[in-house]
Structure 1
C-alpha cells in the first residue's frame, strides 16, 4: 500500500510542478510610473479576471505578488493579451432563464479595481471582464470619462400571464450616444448584439473614424471559457459489510466495520456551453478495505468459532456526472456515477482455525474486479472542495450464490491544481 500511495503522491506532485512551470510565461508588468518590468508572469486559466498576479524577474528569483491597485497592468506577448488595471462598477446580478422563479429581484453591483482584458486600443478602448458567475461584461473608456460598463440588464417582471424575462439593452443607447458624431456608424450599431465580435468591430470602426493612426485591435487567442481542471483528492471511508448466501463464510456471519483511507487524482471536464454547471468528473484512486468475522454455526461444525480476516487494496476508476450550482462563491455540487476497481494488493486473506491454532488461506481465487455505485453531495470554494459520498461495493467472493458486499460513507476533500 505504501508504494502505491507514494506513487500517487509522486504523480500528483509531478503534475503540479509541470503545471507550475508551464504557467510562467514571459511578460511585462507596467508600473504606476509607466515603467516596464520584464520577467515571468504566472498565467493561469483564469475563469474570472484576476485581481492580482504573481511575477518574478527570472526563473531563479523569488516571486512577487502585484495587486491591481499597485500597477497599471501587464502584457503577455506570447498569448497576445493585455490586461489593464481599471476601477469600475458593474452589474453582476446572476440570471438564469431555466430557473426564473428562483431568481432574486435585487440587483448585485460590484465596485472594484481589477485587471480587465483589453480588446480594442485607441482613444476609445474596449475591455472585457468576467465575473464570478462566468458572465461577460464589456466596458469602454473615453477621453474625460471613467471606465463605463455597457449595460445589458436581464430582469424578471410579473405580468397578468405570469413572470417572465425582460431585457433592457441600455448599451445600445449608450453606443448611440457615443457614436453620435458618426451617424452612419450609430445607425449600423443601433441593434448591435451584446457579444465580443460585433462590439470589437464597432469600437475598432469608431476609433478609426476618430483617429485612424491610433486604432488597434488586440488580436488574441480564443478564450478557454471552461478549462479542464486537474486536482488531487484524499479521504476516508466508513465501511460496513453484509454477507449473504449459503457459503459458510457468508451465511449468517457478521463482519466488522472498518475505517480506511483513500488517495488519488481527479479530472473535471466541462460539457460544452454549460458554464461548468454540468461536467464529466473522473477519479483515479487507491483505497483499502479490511474486515473480519468470528464464524458462527452449529457446534458440530468444524468452523464454528474460527476467524476469517480480509484486507485488500484497490486501484479504482470512478466516472461520474457532476452538476454544480453556478451561483456564489461557495457552490454546492452533486455526483452520480459508477466505479470500477481492481485488487492490486491482498493484505489479508486469512482463515484461523482456533482449535488447531493454524492459519491458512481463507478463499482461493478471490474476485478481483469490484463494481460500485456512487452518489455524493458537496461544496466548492475556489480551489477547494469537500464531499460526503455514499458508495456500494460488489464484494470479493467469486461464488455465484454467496458474497460479502460493502457499503461506505466516504468523506472526500479535493484541491484543484
Structure 2
C-alpha cells in the first residue's frame, strides 16, 4: 500500500493495486482507515449485458469532507489517483491541515534506447520445383546491426508490462554453389544474394526489477523493407566429353517484393537503468506474386544505452 496524501491532523489517502491490476483506494483519519468502495456489476437487459457501477466512494468522501466551509462536492469525482489526491489535498487546505506528504502520480513512462551489435542470418529456400535453387545450401551471413527502440511502460502494470518498438538497420549477404548431375553432364550453379533492410518490430515486453538488474523478455511481429536487393544466378554445363557450355546469368526470382513479414522473440537485461544487453531471434518470409520463395532466420546480439 502506497501513500498519495499524508496529513497527521487531516485526511490521508492510500492506494493499492491488486494482482488483477485493479486499483483500491483507502482514506485514513486519525487511527481509522476505510476502503473507498466502487462496486462494478452487470445488468441483464433483455438478454443484453450492460456494465454498471455503484459509486459508494462518493458518499464516503462526502461524509468525510462535509465539514469544509467551502462546500466541497465529490459527486463528479472519478475513481482514479489524480482526482482523488487533489480532492483530499484541497480538503486539508480548506481545514488548514498540513499535507506532510504528496506523492507524484505514476504516469506512462517512455524509455528510448540506441543500440549496436551484430546479427547472424541464414537463408532457406522454399521448395520450388522449377528452381534448382531449392537444393542450394547457403552460407551464414554475419553483419553489423544498429538501431533505436522505444519502451512504453504503463503504471497500472507496476511497470512490468510494456509496448516495445524497435527500428533497426540490417544487412545480409549469402552465397551457394550447387552441382546438378545430368546424363553426360554436370550443371554448375552459383547463387548470390545481397540485401540491406530497415526492420520494424512491434512487441509486448515483460520486465522485472531485481536490485540493479532488470531482466526482460518480449515477443512480437516484424516488418521489413529491403532498400537494397541484389540477386544473381550463374550456371554453366560441363560435359563428360570435356566440352564446356556457355556461362549463363539470370535472376533467381522475378517480381521479388521489397517487403518482408515475420515474428521475433528476445530477452536480456538492463544494468543500472541504462546499459541494455539483448539477444533475440527473428523469422521472416519474402513475398512475390508466386508466394514466399525463401525464409530468413536471424540471431541478434546487441548492446544498448537507455536514456
Residue 334 to residue 216, structure 1, CA distance change in 2 (3 Å): closer
Q: How does 1:111-260 map to 2 (within 5 A)?
A: 196-197=85-86, 200-201=89-90, 204=93, 208=96, 223=105, 225-245=107-127, 246-260=129-143
SS at match of 1:366: coil
Q: How does 1:1-400 map to 2 (within 5 A)?
A: 196-197=85-86, 200-201=89-90, 204=93, 208=96, 223=105, 225-245=107-127, 246-271=129-154, 273-300=156-183, 304-346=187-229, 348-353=230-235, 356=246, 360-381=250-271, 382-395=273-286, 399-400=290-291
1:353 Cα offset (Å):
3.5
Q: 2:58 corresponds to which residue?
A: none
Give structure 2 stretches of 5+ with no counterpart.
Answer: 17-25, 34-62, 66-80, 237-243
Higher relative contact order (CA 8 A, sep 6+): 2
1:357 Cα offset (Å):
5.1
The alignment's TM-score, normalised by the length of structure 1, stands at 0.48
Residue 235 to residue 301, structure 1, CA distance change in 2 (3 Å): farther
Residue 372 to residue 286, structure 1, CA distance change in 2 (3 Å): same
SS at match of 2:135: coil
Residue 379 to residue 136, structure 1, CA distance change in 2 (3 Å): farther
Give the whole-Å Cα distance in 1 for the aligned partners of 2:280 and 2:184.
Answer: 40
Residue deviations 1:211-245 (CA, integer Å, cap 9, x gap) = xxxx799999x855232222222232111222231
1:315 Cα offset (Å):
1.3
Residue deviations 1:243-291 (CA, integer Å, cap 9, x gap) = 2312424322211111122222212222462232111111122211111
RMSD of aligned Cα (Å):
4.2
Give the whole-Å Cα distance in 1 for the aligned partners of 2:268 and 2:295.
Answer: 25
Alignment equivalent of 1:403, drawn from 262, 286, 293: 293
Contact 2:3–2:15 (CA under 8 A) maintained in structure 1? no
Q: Which has the higher helix share?
A: 1
Residue 363 to residue 153, structure 1, CA distance change in 2 (3 Å): closer
Give the whole-Å Cα distance in 1 for the aligned partners of 2:183 and 2:153.
Answer: 61
Residue 248 to residue 296, structure 1, CA distance change in 2 (3 Å): farther
Residue deviations 1:307-366 (CA, integer Å, cap 9, x gap) = 1100101112111011112453211111110101111112x3122335645655443322
Residue 392 to residue 303, structure 1, CA distance change in 2 (3 Å): farther
Contact 2:6–2:100 (CA under 8 A) maintained in structure 1? no
SS at match of 1:363: coil
SS at match of 1:250: helix
The alignment's TM-score, normalised by the length of structure 2, stands at 0.63
